[in-house]
């Protein structure tokens, strides 16, 4: 039983019972430079409308509004300086199989004439899990261009991804949104990995009661 409990602890350590979520963000600018958005600019939030759950879509839009206002922008004007479109989703997942090494430590026993060493051994416990990829896309479009055509080219695109065993997209979007706004409107030049603690205060405030 002790070996079984120890094995479970090792599996938890190796396959993701950690205290943070890893999120990757890649920011692209049409000019190759980070987008300069004036303080107090008006930004209107627009959902792409591809999601099957309109209630979750409204919830995400409300959270984006919180983050925008928290960064000094104004939200909700019909004729805005910029439009922020968003979309999100999760895949069906893929099964990953691996093995966790379990090492029994060295033991030393005293004998009447000599000591006895047992150097221990290592075994491997196999496991399998389903890994889901969650994604979020943000697009900033210049106001007049968007009003002229809903298909106007974006000035900035932010691609946010996260992979793990949880399929709770509603919860994980909170972490992805917080990570996205760490590099909002930036041209990151490459994907940046961010570890967001599970108990991050920003996530708690964004998720609400």
Does the pTM of the predicted model rise above 0.85? no
- Which residue is it, tokens 């939030």? 45
Query: In whole angstroms, what is the distance from residue 90 CA to residue 203 CA?
Result: 19
- The beta strand positions in the chain, using DSSP E, are 20-29, 42-47, 74-75, 82-90, 94-104, 107-110, 115-118, 121-142, 156-164, 192-197
- Contact between 170 and 136 (Cβ < 8 Å): no
**What does the angle CA 136 – CA 163 – CA 165 come to, to the nearest 5 degrees?**
125
Where along the chain do its domains lie? 22-101+127-207
- Contact between 162 and 175 (Cβ < 8 Å): yes
Q: pLDDT of 33-77, one tens digit each?
A: 999 999 899 999 999 877 789 999 999 999 999 999 999 999 987
Least confident of 38-52, 56-70, 84-98, 107-121: 107-121
Residue 134 has pLDDT above 80, yes or no: yes
- Look up the CATH number of domain 22-101+127-207: 3.30.160
Query: In whole angstroms, what is the distance from residue 120 CA to residue 175 CA?
Result: 42
| Start-to-end C-alpha separation, the chain | 40
Q: pLDDT of 143-152, one tens digit each?
A: 999 999 999 9
Question: What per-residue confidence (pLDDT) applies to 64?
Answer: 98
């Amino acid at each position: 039983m002790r070996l079984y409990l120890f094995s479970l602890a090792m599996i938890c350590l190796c396959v993701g019972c950690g205290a943070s979520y890893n999120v990757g963000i890649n920011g692209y600018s049409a000019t190759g430079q980070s987008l300069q958005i004036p303080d107090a600019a008006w930004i209107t939030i627009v959902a792409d409308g591809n999601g099957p759950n309109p209630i979750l879509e409204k919830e995400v839009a409300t959270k984006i509004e919180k983050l925008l206002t928290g960064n000094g922008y104004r939200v909700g004007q019909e004729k805005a300086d910029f439009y922020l479109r968003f979309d999100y989703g999760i895949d069906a997942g893929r099964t990953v199989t691996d093995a966790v090494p379990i090492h029994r430590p060295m033991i030393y026993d005293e004998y009447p004439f000599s000591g006895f060493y047992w150097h221990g051994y290592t075994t491997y416990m196999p496991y399998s899990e389903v890994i889901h990829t969650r994604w979020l896309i943000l697009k900033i479009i210049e106001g007049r261009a968007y009003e002229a055509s809903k298909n106007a080219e974006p000035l900035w695109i932010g691609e946010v991804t996260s992979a793990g065993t949880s399929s709770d997209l509603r919860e994980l979007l909170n972490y992805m949104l917080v990570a996205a706004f760490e590099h909002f409107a930036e041209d990151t030049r490459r994907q940046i990995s961010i570890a967001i603690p599970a108990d991050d205060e920003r996530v708690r405030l964004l998720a609400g009661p």
